[in-house]
Amino acid sequence: MRIRHTLAPALALAVTAALAAAVPATAAPAAPKTPQAGCPQLSQSLTWYGTNRDKLQRTIDERGVCSHPELAHGNGHGQRPVAAFDWDNTITKNDVTDATLVWSLNHDKILRPAHWRDTSKWLTPAADRALTEACGTDVPVGAPLNTSTNTACADEIFAIRDEAKTADGAAAFEGTWNHRRTVPQYAWIPQLFAGHTVAELSSYAAAARKHVLAAPIGSKDKVGSHTVPGYVRYYDQQRDLVRTLQRAGFDVYIVSAGSEPVTEVWSKGIGVDRKHTIAIRSVLDKQGRITYENEGCGGVGDNKGEAIPYIDGKRCWVNQDIFGVKGPKAWQQQDFTHRIALGGGDADTDVTFVGDATGAHLVLNRNKNEVMCRAYDNADGRWVVNPMFIEPLPRKSGAYPCSTAAYNKPEGGFGPVRRADGSVVSDQQDRVYGG
């Protein structure tokens, strides 16, 4: 396991004291300061919604070299502030894990398992039968399935990943899992690549990356009988934000619920190296091949998908891999000195770690209930909501059901979203959206 230690006690304590003395927890951020020499600035040529650029710049100035000039000297002794971002639909438009799966299905890169039920501990008998019937048993175990020509096989695999259902609508997963620590169809993607080496999976991700970056915006691909988004783009605003944070002395991390080798291929395109890229990390066998297990977090050892970087799992991996918090404590919100300064995401899977940020919580609006309830409630005055930069969604019709059914319960199902003091967030109207 790669442990990334980036403690920030001295800087964080100084900022904590300043905030405690000057800014109530619920106060709106102060007006932005006039840029000073040594304060890296976000590009003025890239469009942000409303005053969002100023809000993000304020955090960069508060926590970076503008207010802490010692960071400019490459201080590597635990003083650097941390920013962390989700990847899919946060840094890029469209999902790079799905793009890799689609490319792999269209190029016969999925190896036939001995039994489909081995790929996930939650796979239903109906899904096992559907996959076995569609993909057949003629291909030897461990050999590539002919998914580029076998439409039924590609359809079953993609439907289970996309909707957690078989092609005929039967539930693909069943059983018990903590719904704030994992979701079976996310964990299933690395498991589908069992038998491959990390280098092989990385090469598939690189080939898919080349394909979707070259495709025009709005283009579609076919996989089996499905039509899916056929392009991916890095958001220019997010690339600029990451680079500005790095120039300002921040350690910038990616925290994704995708497969780590896939995410690493993409993250280097914005200057984030593999040491700063966290995603589902598969356990390798003695030959260096991907297995059906992944590394765990917060006292959960190697497992078959019970704990991945998903909702509360993202907090756990941030605490464990960035701040060095060990054992079950990694599932808990940490003190100010052991939390990220800026977090960014787009979906409920990001709500916990983005909410842990002490400076700014950036959310790209994809109409996901729990994260948008938190964002629009704006309890600490530091939530920053922006429409997607490419093909933004129109205004959501009706209110987000914050008071009744937006919180993802650990046992499954939904309940009210509550603030730290236990009070219930009222239903919220969509206020930041595309044209």
For every residue of 208-234, which 3-state class applies, written as one string? HHHHHHHCCCCCEEEECCEEEECCCEE
Q: Does one domain contain both 17 and 138?
A: no
Q: Does one domain contain both 383 and 267?
A: yes
Q: Give whole-number Cα distances, 197 to 73, 97, 222, in Å.
A: 40, 17, 26
Containing domain of residue 392, as a range? 9-28+41-94+236-286+309-415
- 357 Cβ contact partners less than 8 Å away, ≥ 6 residues apart: 84, 339, 340, 341, 342, 343, 382
Q: Does one domain contain both 219 and 352?
A: no
Q: Does one domain contain both 107 and 225?
A: yes
Q: Which residues of 25-37 are buried (b: 16+ CB within 10 A; e: fewer)?
A: eeeebeeeeeeee
Q: What percent of the chain has pLDDT over 90?
A: 89
Report how far residue 332's alpha carbon sits from residue 384's, in angstroms, rounded to the nearest whole number: 24
Total number of domains constituting the chain: 2
Report how far residue 224's alpha carbon sits from residue 261's, in angstroms, rounded to the nearest whole number: 25
Task: Give the per-residue pLDDT at 435.
Answer: 72
Task: Give the per-residue pLDDT at 6.
Answer: 40
Domain of 402, CATH number, reads 3.40.50.1000
Is 423 contained in some domain? no
- 21 Cβ contact partners less than 8 Å away, ≥ 6 residues apart: none
Task: Give the per-residue pLDDT at 36.
Answer: 60
Q: Residue 383 in contact with residue 50, Cβ under 8 Å?
A: no
Q: What percent of the chain has pLDDT over 70?
A: 90
Q: Does one domain contain both 361 and 409?
A: yes
Beta-sheet pairing, 282-284 with 290-294: antiparallel
Report the chain's mean pLDDT, rounded to a whole number: 92
Nearest CA to 256 out of 313, 210, 294, 218 is that of 313
Task: Give the per-residue pLDDT at 37.
Answer: 63
Positions in the chain whose pLDDT score sits under 50: 1-33, 35, 76-77
Report how far residue 321's alpha carbon sits from residue 124's, in angstroms, rounded to the nearest whole number: 33
Q: Does one domain contain both 278 and 344?
A: yes
Report how far residue 107's alpha carbon sits from residue 101's, in angstroms, rounded to the nearest whole number: 10
Alpha helices (H) along 23-166: 52-63, 96-106, 125-135, 151-163
Q: Express each pLDDT in 192-227 by its tens digit.
A: 999 999 999 999 999 999 999 999 999 999 999 999
Residue 314 phi, psi (nearest 5)? -65, -40
Q: Does one domain contain both 74 and 113?
A: no
Task: Give the per-residue pLDDT at 1.
Answer: 40
Is 296 contained in some domain? no
What is the value of pTM for the model shown?
0.91
Is 302 contained in some domain? no
Is 174 contained in some domain? yes
Q: Does one domain contain both 252 and 346?
A: yes
Report how far residue 90's alpha carbon sits from residue 100's, in angstroms, rounded to the nearest whole number: 17
Q: Does one domain contain both 337 and 251?
A: yes
Q: Does one domain contain both 279 and 378?
A: yes
Task: Give the per-residue pLDDT at 78.
Answer: 54
Is 152 contained in some domain? yes
Q: Does one domain contain both 140 and 90?
A: no
Q: Does one domain contain both 405 and 326?
A: yes
Is 254 contained in some domain? yes
Task: Put residue 333 in one of left, alpha, beta given phi > 0 → left and psi -120 to 50 → alpha.
Answer: beta
